[in-house]
A = this chain, B = another copy of it.
């Protein structure tokens, strides 16, 4: 499958590695390719420059958002929550009816110090905002509930014995995403139904921050027991 991953940070890279490993064609999108490739220093989170990462991942291609949107059958939003709608518009989502978009973004606002808060919460969610902005796209929320390294490698933690929730308004899109997640080794994909469940999935991140603090590691997740 031709997969377009929007965002070149740790989430975009982890997802690109996973999709390549499973044999997909991966195109990673950014605003300005030249600027991205010219960076030679780690970012303020310590993430190595993208060009260095790309050199180590020769099967990944990089392109402008619009180029990625043109070529991808499946889009994954791995950008900051605050940038997501703009990036998806640049990627041409308004002109791609039926396109599945997996939204992995979070509405984290670090401006108030620790603990961070969410800039969309409770009665709305980023995923619903995206769906309202692009009503003909098929938005599925997934992957926002965990650290990047687990997203396509659930086996890194407890032999993969933990869960990944998803939600979205389109039954068929949710089924396709669930199958995709299983191909990455997720054994317990929990379908939470329509996109209003994204309010809970995004609010869960506030809970996850506590788990991260208690565990002293980002390799933490929940198993849904029922």
Could you tell me which A residues sit within 8 Å of B by CB distance? 112, 115, 117-118, 121-123, 157-158, 161-163, 165, 167, 190-193, 196-197, 199-201, 203-204, 206-211, 213-215, 217, 219-226
Contacts and interface: CB of A to CB of B under 8 A. Distances in A.
Copies in the complex: 2
Given A219-B226, A222-B224, A207 B213 contact: no
A111 to B, nearest CB: 11
B213 A193 contact: yes
B206 A200 contact: yes
A155 to B, nearest CB: 12
B210 A192 contact: yes
Contact of A123 (B117, B191, B199, B223): B117
Given A214-B191, A226-B220, A204 B201 contact: no
A209 B203 CA distance: 12
A15 to B, nearest CB: 21
Contacts of A211: 165, 190, 192, 224, 226
Contacts of A217: 226
A115 B196 CA distance: 8
Given A193-B213, A193-B214, A210-B197, A223 B223 contact: yes
B199 A115 contact: yes
17 contacts: A115-B196, A115-B199, A157-B226, A162-B223, A162-B225, A163-B222, A165-B207, A165-B210, A199-B206, A200-B210, A203-B207, A211-B224, A211-B226, A217-B226, A221-B225, A222-B225, A223-B223
A82 B219 CA distance: 36
A158 B115 CA distance: 33
Contacts of A219: 226
